Amino acid sequence: MRDAVTTLIRNYDGTGRYLDRNAIDSLKSYFESGTERVTAATAINANAASIVKQAGSQLFEELPELIRPGGNAYTTRRYSACLRDMDYYLRYASYALVAGDSYVLDQRVLQGLRETYNSLGVPIAPTVRGIQIMKDIVKTMAAEMGVNDTSFIDQPFDHMTRELSEQDV
């Protein structure tokens, strides 16, 4: 798995350059946010089941047609699969938070996911909404744990929603 440091070094090495001021500033920012990244990952780890349950409840409250007959989360099996997928996204978001890099999301989660969902008839919009709800919950938890600037939490969640939302032109 790549992280912010290995990605930066890989990019500079690939072009045969020394680390410049921008690279050093980027590294400095990553290391300064390390404690907050670990705090956010700790919040996710300690509360994953609760986060998924709360996000699922909010999602189905906002979009009740999903759990009605004919909806994509109708039946216990489909409902459970939805929550399982949300847990999967949350777990990989925690990896990307600590790494400070979205590579793990691209390689382990997003590659081919939109096409798979489309072929199975799984609606993308509710998936995107569920991911955004989890982001909001994690940001609130991190803030409650003393993280002052929770903006770095947006990155992995927004990356997933952006990639899932892309449409071929």
Pair 17, 84 in one domain: no
Pair 28, 38 in one domain: no
Give the burial class of 89: count Cβ atoms within 10 A of its Cβ; 0-12 exposed, 13-18 middle, 19 or more buried. buried
Taking the C-alpha atoms of residue 161 and residue 102, their distance in angstroms, rounded to an integer, is 12
Pair 19, 85 in one domain: no
Q: What is the tens place of the pLDDT at every residue in 119-135?
A: 888 899 999 999 999 99
Pair 49, 116 in one domain: yes
Give the global pTM.
0.91
The number of domains in the chain is 2
For the cut 90, the answer to whether the pLDDT of residue 167 exceeds it is no
Provide the residue range defining the domain that includes 9.
Answer: 1-32
Q: What is the tens place of the pLDDT at every residue in 30-65?
A: 999 999 999 999 999 999 999 999 999 999 999 999
Q: Check residue 118 and give its pLDDT.
A: 85
Pair 40, 21 in one domain: no
Q: What angle do CA 151, 153, 157 make, to 5 degrees?
A: 120
Would you say 100 and 33 are in contact if contact means Cβ atoms under 8 Å apart? yes
Pair 59, 85 in one domain: yes
CATH code assigned at 56: 1.10.490.20
Q: How many CB atoms lie within 10 A of CB 91?
A: 15
Lowest mean pLDDT among 9-23, 110-124, 135-149, 155-169: 155-169
